Structure 1
């Protein structure tokens, strides 16, 4: 009887393992990559928001906000996590040593 009870749980365990490796783990990896991308944003980067707006980062503020210029003279405040993609990165400032 105990053997059959354990045998009934084996398919459930296999289903959970498959779900973990096919769905949960890749999603966690994607979230970490997005977080890393958002943290590396700096002035001059050209970005796309989740709403589809393309603009240039003018300011990175402390409270997870960016100031993005959509066109000349049109600036909007955007939450950092709503950046979907970075189109072009600016070169890091060179340090004279």
Structure 2
């Protein structure tokens, strides 16, 4: 009789609901964070000489040398610093191809407007 009363106070549906809620919280919060951490570790592991980076302090630099966890960075011509690999925020290797805009030799067509009325 006592087992039956305990089962009535704590139904199986409550356990199923709690497990489902935990699964949803895990998928919404913890899984994306783990994916971001994995991508960051991969990015930090692939750093090489010549990469353009931005540090967590917002400094833009070019990697001159990679020595384990220490990077030699060039912030400006003849301005070199050493930084920890973990100080890299993101890569800026995508070079923008600046295409010069060609000026037209013909004047633009003027729109003819009709007088209101």
TM superposition score category, shorter chain reference: 0.7 to 0.9
Superposed displacement of residue 4, structure 1? 4.8
Q: Normalising by structure 2, report the TM-score.
A: 0.67
Higher relative contact order (CA 8 A, sep 6+): 1
Quote the residue 1:93 is aligned against: none
Measured on the aligned residues, the alpha-carbon RMSD in Å equals: 1.7
Verify the 8 A CA contact 1:35 1:81 in the aligned structure 2. no
Q: Structure 2, unaligned stretches of length 5 or more?
A: 1-5, 95-117
Written as runs of structure 1 = structure 2, the 5 A alignment for 1:9-48 is 9-48=15-54
TM-score when scaled to structure 1? 0.80
Runs of 4+ residues over 4 Å off in structure 1 = none
Q: Which has the higher strand share?
A: 1
